[in-house]
Amino acid sequence: MQKPPLTYQAAGLDLDLYGQTLAGMAPFLRRTHTPRVLDGFGGFASLFSLDYNSRLFARNYRHPVLVSCTDGVGSKLKIAALANKHDTVGVDLVAMSVNDCLCTGGEPLIFLDYIAMPKDDPALTRDLIKGISDGCMEADCSLVGGETAILPDFYAAGDYDMAGFCVGVVERDNIINGRGIRPGDLVLGLASTGLHSNGYSLVRKIVFEKAGLKINDFVPELGRTVAEELLEPTRIYVRAIKLLLEHYPVKRRVLRGLAHITGEGLEGNIPRILPPGRRVFLDKSKWPAPPVFSWLQNLGPVDETEMFKVFNMGIGFVVITSPYYAESIQRQLNEERVKTYIIGEVREGEPGVEFV
């Protein structure tokens, strides 16, 4: 008896279902679009006009420089899989790149995503794209395309991965690179929403392996379940920082350094913007850490030094400015409902961070 011919579907990919899934994503992209997005959905590439409003563009950008960023969400996706809740990790994906873009003084313009999974799952894909779309709306950034790869031989059932890519723009004369940071400048810390998207390998080891907790267990110290706490989305700082960038005409004289606090915490990220001969001294007593950090530290237990090396400890973004502007910036950010603290200062010394 002759064997039936092989098909792509038999190999793990249903092209009809794949096409239907992608077609259902169009509304999530379109809701993020502005008139600067020129092409329709479904082409080979996306088109974005830098000078849609030529007068406005000419006023803001004489020498525009493109800014590019890429990042992922890491093992926070494992938490989403355990909780079977996938509609917020897309916000994390957007946040990780657009917040990086801000550190140059850049304005995020467009975002693209890459999602890989073992089989076509329309419901999962919809949740992921919805979250990405939500994040782009919050970041005033257009979701212009992406790739969904079905890889049955690469991923086990229930696993998936995602990466994001952001392109922004900054005026050449307004690039913020940290070179103007001086002794006496103050360090402002913008509050995080919690863990954001870093340190989850340690979190999972503490919570599930060491403490033996389940994903839907209620945690009295936190006032909510494990899933609710660990899936709290990363804060997107775009509107808050853009407010400052628009308010101060001479941007890099006022906002001398900007840092997104991700993996390796304050100690690992602030030095990335420090020029030679500048050292940052931080006072841990100047800001309150969200309860999730003390909960994890006690549950481990984990040394405080290790906690500060791994987690953001309640500060998700840092602004370095002169004392003259510090209180004004703090007030503006607080009015934007981003709680901000003066957490330290810059002194002479080897580039790095020291806690006092």
The tens digit of pLDDT for each residue in 308-341 reads: 999 999 999 999 999 999 999 999 999 999 999 9
Q: What is the pLDDT of residue 108?
A: 98
- Going 281 to 255 to 106 to 33, the CA torsion angle's sign is positive
The tens digit of pLDDT for each residue in 7-27 reads: 888 888 788 888 888 888 999
Domain with CATH 3.30.1330.10 in the chain: 15-40+54-174
How many angstroms separate the CA atoms of 219 and 72, rounded?
Answer: 28
Domain with CATH 3.90.650.10 in the chain: 186-355
The tens digit of pLDDT for each residue in 273-311 reads: 999 999 999 999 999 999 999 999 999 999 999 999 999
| Assigned CATH for 15-40+54-174 | 3.30.1330.10
How many angstroms separate the CA atoms of 119 and 115, rounded?
Answer: 11
Q: What is the DSSP letter of 48?
A: B
- Written as six digits, the tokens of 322 are 């002169």
Q: What is the pLDDT of residue 58?
A: 67
Question: Which one has a higher pLDDT value, 50 or 303?
Answer: 303
Q: If we measure between CA atoms, which residue out of 114, 29, 128 comes closest to residue 77?
A: 128
Q: Mean per-residue pLDDT for 57-65?
A: 81
Q: Mean per-residue pLDDT for 223-240?
A: 99
With contact defined as beta carbons under 8 Å apart, do 248 and 105 qualify? no
Confidence of residue 40 (pLDDT cuts 50, 70, 90): low
Q: What is the pLDDT of residue 84?
A: 98
- Written as six digits, the tokens of 210 are 């060491």
Confidence of residue 55 (pLDDT cuts 50, 70, 90): low
Percentage of residues in the chain having pLDDT higher than 90: 84
Q: If we measure between CA atoms, which residue out of 209, 229, 206 comes closest to residue 300?
A: 206
How many angstroms separate the CA atoms of 28 and 142, rounded?
Answer: 10
| Assigned CATH for 186-355 | 3.90.650.10
The answer on pLDDT for 54 being more than 80 is no
- Written as six digits, the tokens of 33 are 């679009």
Q: Please report the DSSP string for 189-234 in residue order.
A: EEEPSSSTTS-HHHHHIIIIIIS---TT-EETTTTEEHHHHHTPPP
Assign 186 to helix, strand or coil: strand
How many angstroms separate the CA atoms of 192 and 196, rounded?
Answer: 7
For the whole prediction, is pTM greater than 0.75?
yes
The tens digit of pLDDT for each residue in 64-99 reads: 999 999 999 999 999 999 999 999 999 999 999 999
The tens digit of pLDDT for each residue in 206-230 reads: 999 999 999 999 999 999 999 999 9
- 292 membership: H or E segment, kind and range: helix 291-299
Q: What is the pLDDT of residue 5?
A: 87
Q: What is the pLDDT of residue 23?
A: 83
